[in-house]
Structure 1
Amino acid sequence: MNPAVTPKPTASSSIGDAFGSSMNDLLQVRAALDEHSMVCTTDSQGCVTYANNRFCEVTGYKREEWLGQDYRMIDPGCHTPEFLRSVWQTISLGSVWRGEIQGRARDGSGFWVASTIIPVLGADASPREYLAVCQDITEHKKLHAEMEVRQQLQHLLADLSTQFVALADDEVDNTILRTLKQIGEFMELDRATLWQIEDDKAGLQLTHHWQRDGVPLPPERFQTESSVPWAHGKLLAGDSFHFAKLSDLPSEADSDMQVLRHLGSKSLVCIPLLATTRPFGALVFATVRAERTWTLDEITELKLVAQIIANVVGRRRAEERAEQLRVEIAHSARASMLGELAAALAHELNQPLTAILSNAQAGRRFLSAGAAEPEEVGAILDDIVRDGRRAGGVVHNLRAMLSNASPPREDCSLNEIIHEVAEFLHSELVVQGIELEQHLEPDLPPVHAVRVEMQQILVNLLVNAVQSMREAPAERRRIDIRTRKGGTKVTVEVRDHGCGIPIQHLSSIFHPFVTTKQGGLGMGLSICRRMIEAHSGFIAACNHEDGGAVLAFSLPIADSSIPVMTESRT
């Protein structure tokens, strides 16, 4: 038998095998693409001829709905006509196009795809169909966008933090308003407000606000305790809260929900402003036009904003309270000092009033006797006018010193004020047997100061000098007061001849509650120093080598352009 002969493959069978192999490869490639990618083919006009399962899944349309349709079926209107023309021009010329395209699914949700569109050329080298292979990058784009927003928000907060560093008091309000506006516009909010808790802790007062045009402004005062009790409790406890929609609020916030709906708030974040651990206000961000979901990162960043603003506002509130307390203490000190001088004041008023009464009675006697000469009557009336002005001056100075208001500054002469205070204390000096010697430099330049505060300072220094000489012998009962000009300052020096200042108190004599007097509060000199430093001056104290104490203060001359040191020198 002849051995079997293996037939040689013919040309037709080789072509068939090759075609079968290629088709098998294509089917495998297509299966792989169908598994991992969105695939569709279109004719030369861009109408869909095939769409795989993944393509239909992402777009939300069935395969039969796609056949014969084009991109306009999912066009969200986000791409410009120029962009779409450039894509079509590229593939219609036979080139591959790669890029990202945004679409709108059947349910209205948006999606992004990274697309590669490949022209399939015909015999004439022109495209006869197009193959689009796409990857769904919606989540990637979302994460990338969130990361960009977070980075931009962090940069914004860094800029805001820089703005609030070493911020002057007169710039705080404008900076807060600018901050609310920047955050509101960046986060596409409708309203950003800053509230401070009222003294009775029953409500809030609106102090700073920003809102978009057409968005109504909330009321300036809001009684939170009665209208939004749940939110009120959260705020006083120092707890922040937020909601994306009103229905997210807990059942115990039903009444809050009604009020917030009336105010138009659809989504809201409320963050307490804390001074140490106690809340004094709240920062509130809200949307009115549509609901909004708040991410954890956004809440964290907004809490940082609240902390920055709370530090600045809390510092200013503390300074305002401290200043108010200082004013009240100064007023109390003046009242206490004048209380100690009540007897002297009564004597000071009694003298001109007695003189007025005596002159008036003398004038009546002259008139009754019919022996009054015009010159004598004129002299009597002049005396009455002089004594009346003297009594009026005493009352005026007393009222000014007792006033709790803050009078404006004016150019005033320290020599003139010393004369006024000397007259004011004249009776006290006489009763104590003390001589006041004035050594005042003529033509002393004026200072720009609050007159009543200058009076208070001088009264305090002179009263202290009087009290330091209660045990001094009669020949040493003298106070010397001097004024002089030096450079851009004028100086007032008060020296007594008493027991002097104990060495252990010299370095702290101007500190609060430091006193050398029995039963004294130790606030007088502290208040004097504060007033002098507020006028850009300084005050010092020392013991004189011949006995007694010397207290001197200097103030800048009015309109002086050379700065004066504001620290006290002891």
Structure 2
Amino acid sequence: MKRLSIARDLSPLQADLLAVVACVIALPLAWELDAPSSCLLLAVMVSSLYGGRRSGYISVVLGAALFYVFFLTPQFSLFHQRGEFLRLLVFIVAMVLATELIAARHRAEESLRQTQTKLAQATQTATIAEFSASVVHEISQPLSAVVAHGQASLRWLQADPPDFVNAQASVERIVRDSKDAVGIIKGLRTLFRRSPLQKIPIDLRPVVSEVISLVRSRAEKDGILVEVQLAKDLPLIFADRIQLQQVLMNLVLNGIESMRDVTRRPKSLTIHSREQDGMLLVEVRDQGIGVQNFDKVFETFFTTKENGMGMGLSVCRSIIEAHDGRLWGTPGPIVGTVFSFTIPVFREQVG
């Protein structure tokens, strides 16, 4: 991917210049080492890798011309024997094949990059779909409370004499419940938003709170106790808030899903966090059915869910690695699974 990025960053003029410079450097090396085919073919490969297909073909033309003039016998002659022309033809075919193979690799890498981007977006949408019913329920609760408190306020104000104390208390509850509904909607909207990685200093606590508010009703429906154990002196982390929320949401939903069929023991999901070696360690612990192979669960398209897409954990790992962190899974102390990830702690630069 890095080579492809360099090829995209070079302007056409820079790519053309790269082809010329590569051939100019290859010529004295080929003369000194008496290895024209290897040196000039290397120039073509460098031009194609870092300058793209156009640069590759410029070096093919230059390489063929240099090979013709300097390395066919007799040297420095425009006329050669038939065997020498066949030698030149084989050399040109080798250069063209090298250029086309490298161009095909560039196309494959670009296609892979675009596919990974689309998979990440599809995973976000699939994750949203899994808990959409829970979100609707969560929003309906504060909105229903707003209506109830509004009706109560009207009754208190219409009383004779009006009861302003109770009416004020009802209005305060309306404001509180409205803020709860707005918070849920904002949390949902951030998960749908498409934006590039924007790492800023953030507090993990509100991120966890938003995720818990979105999955609370689903967890209660399945009889799952959700606990949050965050250290009191939790430092700020340097991360993209939206993408970190996506990772947490995916891990929490996976934990809830793994406990759906558990019936003979208490079901709980714990989010634990602490600072460790300059990183913030976050653990999502469940008491579900467990994972048989922790290497496979991070592979793209591998899933243990009946209707799963097999992209969630793969994308989560890519997100965490883009934050210079690490994501892994281990068996729980007794049962279940612990998925852990690290994120760099934010350090203010002095001076």
Measured against aligned partners, the alpha-carbon deviations of 1:461-493 in whole angstroms (never above 9, x if no partner) come to: 111111111222364211122101111111111
The match for 2:227 is: 437
**Which residue of the other structure, out of 171, 174, 177, is the alignment partner of 1:387?**
177
Q: Does 1:452 align with 2:288?
A: no
The match for 2:14 is: 178
In structure 2, C-alpha distance between the alignment counterparts of 1:426 and 1:341, rounded to whole Å: 10
Q: Does 1:398 align with 2:188?
A: yes
In structure 2, C-alpha distance between the alignment counterparts of 1:169 and 1:183, rounded to whole Å: 17
Q: 1:93-132 counterparts in 2 under 5 A?
A: none
Q: Does 1:325 align with 2:115?
A: yes
SS for the counterpart of 1:425 is: helix
Measured against aligned partners, the alpha-carbon deviations of 1:257-278 in whole angstroms (never above 9, x if no partner) come to: xxxxxxxxxxxxxxxx999xxx
**Structure of greater relative contact order (alpha carbons < 8 Å, 6+ residues apart):** 2
1:315 to 1:175, Cα distance in 2 relative to 1, 3 A? farther
Measured against aligned partners, the alpha-carbon deviations of 1:236-268 in whole angstroms (never above 9, x if no partner) come to: xxxxxxxxxxxxxxxxxxxxxxxxxxxxxxxxx
* Structure 1 residue ranges without an equivalent (≥5): 1-165, 188-272, 287-293, 562-570
The match for 1:335 is: 125
In structure 2, C-alpha distance between the alignment counterparts of 1:186 and 1:549, rounded to whole Å: 54
Q: Does 1:524 align with 2:292?
A: no
In structure 2, C-alpha distance between the alignment counterparts of 1:495 and 1:177, rounded to whole Å: 55
The code of the aligned residue for 1:180 comes to: D
Shift of 1:318: 4.3
SS for the counterpart of 1:509 is: helix
Shift of 1:362: 1.8
Q: Is the 8 A contact 2:259 2:287 kept in 1?
A: yes
Q: Does 1:549 align with 2:317?
A: no
SS for the counterpart of 1:495 is: strand
Q: Is the 8 A contact 2:18 2:55 kept in 1?
A: no
Shift of 1:404: 2.9
RMSD: 3.7
The match for 1:254 is: none
**Which residue of the other structure, out of 136, 144, 150, is the alignment partner of 1:360?**
150
Measured against aligned partners, the alpha-carbon deviations of 1:200-256 in whole angstroms (never above 9, x if no partner) come to: xxxxxxxxxxxxxxxxxxxxxxxxxxxxxxxxxxxxxxxxxxxxxxxxxxxxxxxxx
In structure 2, C-alpha distance between the alignment counterparts of 1:186 and 1:480, rounded to whole Å: 58
Bigger radius of gyration:
1
The match for 1:260 is: none
Q: Percent of aligned pairs with the same residue?
A: 28
Shift of 1:323: 3.0
Between Structure 1 and Structure 2, which shows a larger proportion of helix residues?
2
Q: 1:4-23 counterparts in 2 under 5 A?
A: none
Shift of 1:184: 7.9
Q: Does 1:409 align with 2:199?
A: yes
The code of the aligned residue for 1:445 comes to: P
SS for the counterpart of 2:297 is: coil
Q: Does 1:482 align with 2:269?
A: no
Q: Is the 8 A contact 1:539 1:552 kept in 2?
A: yes
**Which residue of the other structure, out of 58, 62, 65, is the alignment partner of 1:297?**
65
In structure 1, C-alpha distance between the alignment counterparts of 2:248 and 2:19, rounded to whole Å: 53
1:516 to 1:297, Cα distance in 2 relative to 1, 3 A? same
Q: Does 1:472 align with 2:308?
A: no
1:182 to 1:549, Cα distance in 2 relative to 1, 3 A? closer
SS for the counterpart of 2:314 is: helix
Q: 1:35-434 counterparts in 2 under 5 A?
A: 169=5, 173-174=9-10, 177-181=13-17, 282=54, 297=65, 318-369=108-159, 371-406=161-196, 408-434=198-224
SS for the counterpart of 2:261 is: coil
In structure 1, C-alpha distance between the alignment counterparts of 2:213 and 2:247, rounded to whole Å: 15
Shift of 1:285: 9.9
In structure 1, C-alpha distance between the alignment counterparts of 2:110 and 2:63, rounded to whole Å: 37
* Structure 2 residue ranges without an equivalent (≥5): 24-46, 69-87
Shift of 1:304: 9.3
Shift of 1:339: 1.5
The number of aligned residues is 298
1:474 to 1:395, Cα distance in 2 relative to 1, 3 A? farther
Shift of 1:494: 1.2
Shift of 1:366: 2.7
Shift of 1:311: 7.3
The match for 1:535 is: 323
Q: Is the 8 A contact 1:433 1:474 kept in 2?
A: no
The code of the aligned residue for 1:544 comes to: G
SS for the counterpart of 1:558 is: coil
Q: Is the 8 A contact 2:251 2:339 kept in 1?
A: yes
Q: Is the 8 A contact 2:154 2:167 kept in 1?
A: no
SS for the counterpart of 1:476 is: coil
Shift of 1:381: 2.4
1:357 to 1:172, Cα distance in 2 relative to 1, 3 A? same
SS for the counterpart of 1:387 is: helix
* TM-score in terms of structure 1 length: 0.46
* TM-score in terms of structure 2 length: 0.72
The code of the aligned residue for 1:493 comes to: E
